[in-house]
Structure 1
Amino acid sequence: MGRHDQLYRLYEEFDAETLRAYQDFVDVFPPVDSRVALEHWQNASEELDERRAEIRRAFPETGETFAELASYATREQAFTALDLLGKHDRGVNVLVLDVDETLRSAGSTDNEIPRETLNLLTEFHEDGIPIVVCTGQTLENVKGFMIQGLGNEMVHSGNLSIVYEAGTGVFTPGHGRHTKQLLYDDLDDDIRGVFDRVRSRILPDAPETVRHGCHLQGNEFNVTLKPNFETGSDRAREIIDEALVYQLDLLGEAVAEALSVDGPFENWSRAYYAAQDPEIRGVLEKQGGQPELQAEAIPDAVTDVFERIDVAYYEADAAEIGSLELNKVVGVEAAFDVLDIEDPFALVMGDSKSDLRVMRWIDEADAGLAAAPEHASRDVLDHVMNTDELVFDRGNAGDPLRMTYALNRLASLE
């Protein structure tokens, strides 16, 4: 009997939905002192073991694997995994995971990583699968909530890496002198000087509305303005739109000073980045800040510097300046190196343009899968739909993780 027929039989003859409910309860049951609650957990655990034993008896050669499949994956997830195994002929050996609006969502998970998702990550860790958390957040922030969610032992196991500030640094506890890599140290002095100029002026020189409506995220290198209002709110959108225009002008001035050139620096930066990003162009139009010249009119020396600097706009969330030489791809490559992953086949999960770079890099190398939440940026969704179509509902990061778990279980049978 082929794998397709075996899976069909598994989900046709056994109540996998109830089995998953028992598994979820046993896995995420909170620590309590109640004797009644502990007895309830024990009863559920015994029922789970019996139901899994029935599957093992029904499938003598593959029973243990199929019992795990039914315990964690829905019918749809299992068949999707089988299709992906047929297409790629291998399982996933590393997870690359964005955090905000991917693992957690302000709209549906109260900006917390759900316990279900954390438990699934623990399952992958116990299977020996390295995890690369790839985020635009500061190291201290992401390290804190990862320790809180996954535990200090797992974070410091040597098999988990944090790519922070969208690729400016990599933190991989347990690897000696390679534990923390400051990738921005490799940039030349000219580029670092531009960032120093912008950072020193970004709030002191800001218009009053921006100065009082934003705060500077505590990055090691990137310059990121965040709203003092709730992310996603109308007030946050208004202030970040204004902050973006101010940030562009300040960047243009810093580059002009670094090169000792005179000219309409605010028009240079607005024209260049409007030509690069339609979202930025839209904000400039809405703010009445359209550039008065075309990008072709920018001096070549100024363009050369702009080509090395990224301006990122996250609607109602952040306006950021970073280095194009330091992005999530560079950070993930460094993480793979320290984790000794020589032949990666990754599950990459993310929602933004910075995640898209990693997805495209993995796709070009035929080195993995991409998954995105339904509210991801249009370019991200287009890429995901044009590859393996792994789109999940907001706040349900567990869905692609369960599918990947099933993929790895099926791959182990080959």
Structure 2
Amino acid sequence: MERYDLLYRLYDDFDTETLRAYQDFVDVFPPVDSRVALDHWQEANEELDERKQEIRDSFASGATFCEVAAKASRDQAFTALDLLSKYDREVNALVLDVDETLRSAGNTDNEIPRETLHVLTEFHEAGVPIVICTGQTLENVKGFMIQGLGNELVHSGTFSIVYEAGTGVFTPGHGSRTKQLLYERLDEEIRSVFDEIRSRVLPDAPDDLRRGVHLQGNEFNVTLKPNFDIGSPDAERVIDRGLVYLLDLLGEAVTDDDRGTEWARAYYADADPEIRTVLEQEGEYPDVDPDEVPGDLAEVFDRIDVAYYHADAAEIGSLELNKVAGVEAALDVLEVDDPFVTVMGDSKSDLRVMEWAESNGTGIAAAPDHASEDVLDHVMATDELVFDRGASAEMLRTVYVLNLLASLG
């Protein structure tokens, strides 16, 4: 009997919704000392085992099908099977953004939900490497991942962190390859630009801007963050001004010509409509045609990324050290030789990884419904894997079930 027919039978003949409710309760039951609560948990666990046994006894591959029913809704299971039918591959690594993807300030208090952490633990136990891919600093990410997933998992040898959007990779348990400073591979010309910008960015800032922002503690990228709640009008104001300021610093760092700031503004406004909009709203759009930017300067700008995140951050990074470069380095250390990954993210930097996965046939992409427009366009044009804000666990379960179904052969 084909897998589609077996799935129809599973979800038509069994009360899978109640089964999942028992499974979720047993999986994420909070640690308590109450005897009554523990007795309730034991009763639920026994009921779960009985319901699973009915499915085990009804299918040739009953153990797999009872796990499918316990993990995924009908829609999720058929989505997983559609993906398996399309790609005929199981996912052999996860590549996951954190902020507004695994966790969301919208309805999870900006913490990774327990359900999500539990599913990640299940992937780990199934031998699927996890790559956290973020713009945050290493120490920050390492700290809350250890807190959420445990020190043993993070240091298991199958867990990696691509930090600062690809400037470095941290993969514990791999000796001399544990920490790779990818920015050290850049030539001196580019590194000197970043050194100058970093040395000037706060000391040379206007007083009102300096009081409204701080420098994120990066190893390489230069990132201005607001001293106000992210998304607030005050944060929007200082980040918009900070973006213009960073563009000017970049222009001054790459040339002694007085027109360097105008050339930087013109080049990046032409490359990114969001940057152009900010410059226009700030009354700082240059009276310069992008074609006027000298060729030698354009060659330098071609290697440097200026990123704008509305009311959140303004950043200068290296286009040679994006998340794609970090992910490739992480997968190499993890010895994922023939990757087929699930990429989950919400921003332009995540989109680059998604496009890399699609163009190389190395994975699928998923995004929360509040992701940037370009990300959503890509995801909808590929496999339509869009999930609700704060519901990353639901998408991860779909991928987990894809792998369960792949095991049926």
Normalised by the length of structure 2, the TM-score is 0.99
Corresponding residue of 1:142:
141
Which residue of structure 2 lines up, in the alignment, with residue 35 of structure 1?
35
What CA distance in whole angstroms lies between the structure 1 residues aligned with 2:207 and 2:390? 36
Give distance in 2, aligned partners of 1:223 and 1:110.
27
For residue 221 of structure 1, what is the amino acid of its counterpart? F
Partner of 1:369: 364
Alignment of 1:8-407 (within 5 A): 8-59=8-59, 61-256=60-255, 261-407=256-402
CA drift of 1:379 comes to: 0.9
Residue 3 (structure 2) pairs with residue 3 (structure 1): yes
2:42 partner amino acid: Q
Letter of the aligned partner of 2:53 in structure 1?
A: A
Per the TM alignment, residue 263 of structure 1 is displaced from its structure 2 partner at its CA by 3.0
Residue aligned with 2:169, SS? strand
Deviations 1:113-162 (A, max 9, x none): 00000000000000000000000000000000000000000000000000
Determine the C-alpha separation between the residues in 2 that align with 1:92 and 1:137: 25
Q: Give distance in 2, aligned partners of 1:242 and 1:171.
A: 33
- Deviation at residue 212 of structure 1 after TM alignment: 0.6
Q: The residue matched to 1:340 in structure 2 has which SS?
A: coil
**Amino acid in the other structure paired with 1:235:** D
SS at match of 1:110: coil
Q: What is the one-letter code of the residue matched to 2:241?
A: E
1:166 counterpart SS class: helix
3-state SS of 1:193 partner? helix
Structure 2 CA distance, aligned partners of 1:129 and 1:207? 49
1:106 is displaced (CA, Å) by: 1.0
Aligned mates of 1:294, 1:381 — CA distance in 2: 31
The farther-off stretch of 164-173 and 1-10 is: 1-10
Say what the alpha-carbon RMSD is for the aligned residues. 0.8
Q: Distance in 2 between matches of 1:236 and 1:39?
A: 49
Which deviations, in whole Å up to 9, do the C-alpha atoms of 1:310-369 show, x marking residues without a partner?
000000110000000101000000001000000011000001111111101110111111
Tell me the alpha carbon deviations over residues 283-332 of structure 1, each in whole angstroms, 9 at most, x when there is no partner: 11111111110111011111111111000000011000000010100000
- For the residue of structure 2 that corresponds to 1:371, the secondary structure is strand
Partner SS, residue 57 of structure 2: helix
Amino acid at match of 1:73: A
1:33 is displaced (CA, Å) by: 1.2
Counterpart AA for 1:365: N
**Paired amino acid for 2:243:** L
Give me the whole-angstrom Cα distance separating, in 2, the residues matched to 1:127 and 1:184.
Answer: 33
User: Is the deviation greater in 26-35 or in 65-74?
Assistant: 26-35
Matched residues in 2 for 1:89 and 1:366: separation?
12
Deviations 1:202-226 (A, max 9, x none): 1111112210111100000000000
Q: Post-superposition shift, 1:11? A: 0.9
Deviation at 1:238, TM superposition (A): 1.2
The CA distance in 2 between the partners of 1:192 and 1:2, in whole Å, is 57
Q: TM-score, normalising length from structure 1?
A: 0.98
Describe the SS at the equivalent of 2:30. Answer: coil
Q: Can you list the C-alpha shifts for 1:239-262, whole angstroms capped at 9, x where unaligned?
A: 111110111111111111xxxx42
The alpha carbon displacement at 1:8 in A equals 1.0
Corresponding residue SS for 2:321:
coil
Question: Could you tell me how far apart the structure 2 residues matched to 1:36 and 1:108 are?
Answer: 30
Runs of 4+ more than 2 Å apart: none
Letter of the 2:175 partner, please give it.
Answer: G
Alpha-carbon distance between aligned partners in 2 of 1:344 and 1:262, rounded to the nearest angstrom:
46
Q: Percent identity?
A: 71
- Provide the C-alpha distance between the structure 2 equivalents of 1:347 and 1:370, rounded to a whole number of angstroms: 6
Q: Structure 2: which 5+ residue stretches go unaligned? A: none
Distance 1:314 1:243 in 2: 11
Aligned residue type for 1:4: Y
User: 1:58 Cα shift?
Assistant: 1.3
Q: Which amino acid in the other structure matches residue 40 of structure 1?
A: H
Letter in 2 for 1:2: E
Shift in Å, 1:3: 1.2
For 1:200 and 1:216, locate their aligned partners in 2 and report how far apart those are by CA, in whole Å.
11
Distance 2:385 2:26 in 1: 28
Amino acid at match of 1:130: P
Partner AA of 1:272 in structure 2: Y
- Structure 1: runs of 5+ lacking an equivalent: none
Q: CA deviation at 1:104?
A: 0.5
d(CA) in 1 for partners of 2:14, 2:260: 68
Deviation of 1:233 after TM superposition, in Å, equals 1.3
> 2: distance between equivalents of 1:142 and 1:88?
32
